[in-house]
Chains A and B, each alone.
Chain A
Amino acid sequence: MAPASRRSAAKPAGPAPPTRTLIIDNGAYTLKAGFSSPSSSSSATSTEPHSSDSPPDVESKPSIIPNCLARDREKTVYIGSQLSKCRDFGEIVFRRPVDKGYLVNWEAEKEIWEHEFFDKKAPLHCDPTETGLILTEAPNALPQLQTNCDQMVFEEFGFASYYRCTAPTLNAYNDIQTMFPIPIPTRNMAKPQLPAEILLLIDSGYSHTTITPLLEGRPIQSAVRRLDVGGKLLTNYLTRLLSLRQYDMRNDTYLVNEVKEACCYVSRDLKADMERTWKGPKGDRREIYATGGGIAKDYILPDYHNRSKGYVRDHEPAAAGKLKNLTTGKSAEAAEDILTLRNERFTVPEILFNPTDIGMKQSGIPRLVMESLSCIPFGLWPGFLANILVVGGNANIEGFMFRLEMEIRALAPAECIVRVGKPADPIISTWQGGAALAKDANALSKLSVTKQEYEEHGAAWVARKFDGRTLELPTTLCSKYRWTLEVLAYGDIGAASRAIGPGCPYCPRLHESVFRMINQRVFRDYAWPPWAVNDAWTVGSVITDKH
């Protein structure tokens, strides 16, 4: 890619590439952050990430930081990782800078980043001017939000270099073949990790679920699909069910989220499970309802005095509720607040597979996978179907993988092998991919943009570069000529006409192809206003004349 090689050619003059890279997987619920540098081997140390005195070892594992400002009922405000100091999550409310999966509110995000990375006592302290940044975003982001992001990174924080990419992309840099049920160890630790050749990535997070087919680590943009069901919706739906049936939990979504994580599972056989949790008509209560055939569970709610965390146990029909205990003279400490979960356990994650259950007019994940594949030539289907990887918090729901594989297999052509895998920790997988990429300084520098380049070429150039649709130029061109062509391609016509100067003295052989390229890429691909087109034609003819 042109700009990177130009930069490396001019290295003595420019600043050296940053030695450390900060990788931020900026999720809506948590941000996963940590450093990676080319020199460090992945089998580094194994100290705890949160040890207080030594700098945290985050080579293999990132810090998982709640990406929010939270306020508890005592009106104390917690920023990011401070939330771990919170002891009482009752009626806690959140403000999240990431809305619908996209980084929207920079006021809050800046506060969190400063608290985590830039303040003197920050847990992951770094000096941005000496650090590179890899930042993830959700696919199909709005250009305006991307521009805001680029501006903040360079103009406010001043990172030395920066690579913004969609989160699914980074997963291709992991050794994905080890993540399937029957792993194939392929990774040669000595060599830098090449992106996986072919990978269908399902990222099911807090805000939504996306399906991204990746070839050689590059997304097939036209086949990216999104299901607007994520962890937040599941939690809110469980909240609704519990509030209708048991306690009003509407102000305790944090707690409901913990209930969800502890109890919910994806049913293997929805009809059978519904049957087992059916209460039966009045006067004809069904026997199985009491325990639900093992489905019914009790969640003991925390009271934030003796118990700061809830826990699950099997449902005991005989055990009485708090009120009963109190009336029978038991002490208030011994009495417990219990939520009994029956079909709530599996109807909630079922929405990922049948969004119409809550009236949402979208198909479930398996059908969307097929829908995404339908945009791809049939010859690539076997490759994608055999390499499906699920990341994101929802992948941790019990039974999710089984059901997904089963349903995709039912929809896929019978000849195709369907493999669905999940990384050891699906939440940090994206981050780990970023860390693997950062170890390969060469590959990363080709992808990222330096602060100097940003200042030279401007925001539009950066946006276009991260779009992955850069102009590839033959490497034999002299730097000034190359630069002119790049500027031509990226939009700053004024600078191009100023810089055209004497043109390229070399490579008469190449001018034909280059000219054709400008013609095709610049004039058709990119729509210019008429005056700019004239300018560019002038520039183009100057180039041709010189040869």
Chain B
Amino acid sequence: MDFGVIEVANSRANAAPGWAYVPDVGVKNSLTALHPRKRARNQLATLHDTTAKQDAKILRGLAELDRENHKDVSIPIPAKQRDSGGRGAHKSTPAVRKIISSQKTFANHLDDFQVLKPSATTTTSQPVSAPPSTPAAATVTATPNSKRSHKKKEPVVSKSTPLRKVSTASKTSASTPAAEPIKAEPPPDVAMTDAPPILSSSSDSGPAPHPGDSDQLLVSRIPAMPSQAEIEQLLAAPPLSYTEAKGPWTDQDKSKPDQDILFLALES
């Protein structure tokens, strides 16, 4: 789709009038001079790589752009003078109280999710949980029993048969009953015979035929529609997790020479 044309970055700084894109060629000498020991990791493989230091700086900058307020503030819920609307007398269930008193941020929840992700498939009132049904996939199980002393949150990759891990998994989900992990990848759903067809129920029969319809020069080719089974399968796929849904950095963008020009120009 892009005809094989590759833009080539030139390292020559243009002295032409007007502004110019200037490729950023690595770290400044003054910076590396201060840390000669870290020269290796600050060495650039190609023009578009960034060093660890640059990466850290960029990430810090992005985290700053993600903040809600410039300073850390906490706005407590204002003390309420209960009107006699009746809601004041309302008694919350323990689960609700737990949710309301939780001060977890999204990042905390995401960490929890990633640690517990593959350990179980369902969470119900009783601790019904099991490893994924596809034993082919290596099961990553959070084992609170092992390695606790070192790193609490490190997922342990176990290659043993999942049946062995059931008790551990149940325990995990019982101790944190709120943690609902994602489901295992299901097999393609069977198309139900009585299910209504998708995308083929249009009532009108299309435009009236035209004498030129059969003309080889005028005929338009459209790709064939996928079958019902394929569409069913598409729609039955489970949601991706938060991290999986993050849009990637495509190769075309990576090779774009002027990608970080604005940023670097504005930063310096």
Contact = CB atoms under 8 A, between A and B. Distances in A.
Interface of A: 69-71, 77, 79, 93-96, 99-100, 102, 104-108, 110-111, 114, 118-121, 139-148, 151-152, 155-156, 197-198, 210-211, 215-216, 218, 220-228, 232-233, 236-237, 239-241, 244, 250-251, 253, 274-275, 278, 280, 347, 350, 354, 356-364, 367-368, 371, 376-383, 411, 413, 415, 458-460, 463, 467-469, 472, 474, 491-494, 516-517, 520-521, 523-530, 532
26 contacts: A93-B71, A93-B75, A94-B68, A104-B109, A106-B100, A107-B101, A144-B178, A226-B246, A239-B70, A240-B64, A240-B65, A251-B70, A251-B71, A280-B17, A356-B260, A357-B260, A358-B65, A362-B246, A367-B253, A377-B230, A379-B226, A411-B1, A415-B222, A468-B235, A491-B122, A520-B190
A244 B230 CA distance: 53
Contacts of A525: 183, 186-187, 189
* Chain A CB within 10 Å, residue with most, of B122, B225, B256: B122
B69 interface: yes
Chain B interface SS verdict (over half): loop
Given A79-B78, A139-B239, A155-B93, A144 B180 contact: yes
Contacts of A228: 246
A108 B77 contact: yes
Interface in B230-268: 230-231, 234-242, 244-250, 252-253, 256, 259-263, 266
B83 interface: yes
A119 B80 CA distance: 11
Nearest to A234: B65
Interface in B102-157: 102-106, 109-110, 112-113, 121-126, 128-133
* Chain B CB within 10 Å, residue with most, of A198, A382, A529: A529
A530 B245 contact: no
A379 B223 contact: yes
A196 to B, nearest CB: 11
Contact of A120 (B83, B190, B221): B83
Contact of A119 (B67, B85, B250): B85
A111 B245 contact: no
Nearest to A475: B194
A64 B138 CA distance: 47
A237 B267 CA distance: 12
A359 B64 CA distance: 13
B231 A215 contact: yes
B99 A517 contact: no
Contacts of A226: 245-247
Contacts of B179: 143-144
B1 A156 contact: no
B184 A527 contact: yes
Given A142-B113, A474-B194, 18 more contacts: A71-B75, A94-B75, A107-B102, A147-B180, A216-B198, A221-B237, A222-B234, A347-B266, A360-B62, A377-B230, A383-B199, A460-B125, A472-B192, A492-B126, A529-B128, A529-B166, A530-B166, A532-B130
Nearest to B132: A527
A218 B190 CA distance: 17
B104 A104 contact: yes
A151 B69 CA distance: 30
A240 B65 CA distance: 8
A522 to B, nearest CB: 11
Contacts of B252: 363, 367
Q: Which 5 A-B pairs have the closest CB atoms?
A: A359-B58, A527-B133, A143-B180, A377-B226, A99-B106
A437 B132 CA distance: 36
A389 to B, nearest CB: 17
A467 B235 CA distance: 11
Interface residues of B, number: 107
A224 B100 contact: no
Contacts of B87: 114, 118-119
Nearest to B167: A529
A468 B234 CA distance: 12
A119 B106 CA distance: 28
A371 B179 CA distance: 31
Contact of A527 (B101, B109, B131, B190): B131
Contacts of A119: 83, 85, 87
Contact of A529 (B130, B230, B242): B130
B66 interface: yes
A215 B83 contact: no
Nearest to A197: B199
B18 interface: yes
B83 A121 contact: yes
A111 B67 CA distance: 22
A250 B70 contact: yes
B12 to A, nearest CB: 18
A360 B247 CA distance: 11
B93 to A, nearest CB: 5
* Chain B CB within 10 Å, residue with most, of A93, A120, A472: A93
A95 B103 CA distance: 12
* Chain B CB within 10 Å, residue with most, of A77, A102, A459: A459
A530 B100 contact: no
A121 B81 CA distance: 13
B31 interface: no
B43 to A, nearest CB: 19
A458 B202 CA distance: 39
Given A140-B242, A278-B18, A359-B260, A517 B70 contact: no
Given A525-B186, A527-B184, A356 B239 contact: no
A221 B124 contact: no
A115 B17 CA distance: 59
Contacts of B220: 415
Contacts of A221: 237-240
* Chain B CB within 10 Å, residue with most, of A148, A233, A459, A527: A527
Nearest to A356: B259
Given A226-B247, A250-B70, A253-B69, A460 B124 contact: yes
B178 A77 contact: no
B96 interface: yes
Interface string B54-92: 000010011011111111011101100001110100001
Contact of A152 (B99, B226, B253): B99
B240 A237 contact: no
A50 to B, nearest CB: 21
B123 to A, nearest CB: 6
Contacts of A106: 99-100, 102
Nearest to A491: B124
Given A527-B130, A530-B163, A143 B181 contact: yes
Nearest to A210: B245
